[in-house]
Chain A
Amino acid sequence: MSSRGTDVEDAVDSEVAAPARGTGTRRRVGYVAGLFGLLLLLLLGAVVVLVAQGSIAIPIGEVLRVLTGQDAQSQLSRTIVLDARLPKVVAGLLAGAALAVGGAQMQTLFRNPLADPFVLGVSSGAILGASIVILGTSGVGWLSGLGLVSQLGVTGAAVAGAAGVLLIALGIARRVGDPVVVLVVGVMLGYLAGAVVDMLVYYTDPDRLQALATFTRGSVRNVTWNELQVIAVSCAVVLVLSVFLAQPLNALLLGDRYAGSLGVNVRRVHFLSLASVAVLSGITTAYCGAIAFVGLAAPHLARGLLRTADHRVVLPASALIGAVIVLVAEYVAGGNGLTKTSLPLNSVTAFVGAPVILWVLLSGRARRQAG
């Protein structure tokens, strides 16, 4: 096939019959379906293994019995699995999927392979937004203790904070163009938001700090079923919305002007995509803390495995890969007998994310996209 490339150019006025699609396309569909099947299996496996992990050992068989709704051998293991461990696992799964889909959208929106909610400071913006509300109100409990109204207030503030940083970063990215410069700008925005949080802490009544301290230490490990409902509903809505954005995002790969010429309402797609990224990263950050690099690495892995940039498959594949990454990282961080205490989640995700950033930088993809 490749050797015929020059022949086509030589044949100025002759018409070349299009090779039939036939087997090649069918094989490709099979490959994609197989990959999704494999990712789903991986995800289910990660869920089971992660539920089984903990200070009280529960055999895999027992975990499976509880998860599939069969009679468990002991009521204790049933309680531990459903009330203590499953929320963490579901939260991790949703957070991973949300961040990965957000990252994939950002990479297209910013025309920047290094874009990701954590790297560009969007997560820090979410924390800043939430901090302002937490420190501004008198509540002392953690989110679920605040009551629904203030819980939604904090969540909304986190989303607003994420949206604010996104808008600033996108405004700068459209002007600068160079992905590496935008990367540095994003890191700076993150520092700036972090600095403002520190200032707020410094000037705040110590009584209120407890709430903030709990918030900023938030992780998938202490998510409750109540909080999970908020995460699940909002993430599900936005993830479904993202399916409708897949096709216009494909057009955006060609650039704004080409997308516009294809009948895409570029401003509306930008707005919807920015809004969904803000919700996805704002909510995850509010309830599970800032999880690093998943939004960056998962889409790259998805594109690499699928060998396409088509968002109709890249978005769902990124979601699955992001979920698997967070669950596996949580399993590794959760001790697994290697350490007595568990590691911060980000210490593990960095091992996936940092190499991807380095690979993108060193392979020159970042610069090429700027040109």
Chain B
Amino acid sequence: MKRWIPIAVIVLAAAAVPLLLNPTGYWIRVFTFTLLFAAMAQAWNLIGGLANQLSLGHAAFFGIGAYTSTILLLKFGISPWLGMFAGGALGGVAALIIAIPTMRLQGHYFALATLAFGEVARVIANVWTSLTGGPVGLSVPFVPPGFAAYSFKQLLPHAYIALIALIIVTAIFEVIRRGAMGYRLRAIRENAAAAEVIGIDTTKVKLQTAVISGVLIAMLGTLYAQVAVFFDPDTVFNAMSISIRVALIAIIGGVGTAIGPILGALFIVPVEELMNDLFSAGAAGLSQLIFGVILIVVILWRPRGLVTVIEALRTWLRGKGAQS
């Protein structure tokens, strides 16, 4: 019971934040994207953290999700809520197709192969104009507002949907991590040879993880499309701003932990926005440079992620408690 209290406090605090922000302002948008990217990094954390396979191609599934629900809405008037599940299914199939040949690869080779697959997806989305509209991009059509239609006048509902999505993805991550599948993944991660000889079907477990991860990030693609309203292949299938970014968020926060991607997103998304806000008027490009320096400093300071700051803080508080 006791360990639920801090979680409840954090969730309530997160739920209160959008109410304090200007509902038509800039920062509620930043907050929504922070939650969304935290959820995306959490979905990546399944494959990157639990299966220890550094995927740099998750934009492929994310883009598939964004495009599937938007195309279904444009062409058939299907609610994005349903489109989200269609996108999730397609994202899962794509994840399986990519994982079958690449999952045998380890380390750098897996990272490079998935990066290449992600780029292939981007190129396909650009040239398949009859389906995607090509480089021109897609606009999510305006439909009369309402929850069932997933259409809102303000960002506030989007912020709460992103929060709920983050909670669900985090819960799925924790259930898998603590369950039998998590144990299998941990055994594979710690010693693949030993895992195999005790009867773990290493390929199957990794494929399952890849598919779940792909389904989740594809579903989040729909959430992104609904908030962004306009997108093109080079945004949703982007290697840098999607694939590498979600991996970076999880790694900076603490890979393989449930809190890591949340800390990583809380740090990276607002800081990046703040840098852009501060410097882009004076000297374009400077913000990226400073952001890069901040990332390097954080990685050097906390190689195992920001999650270690919390651990250190806890030990320190306990020490304080013991003294008094």
Asked whether A and B interact, the reply is: no
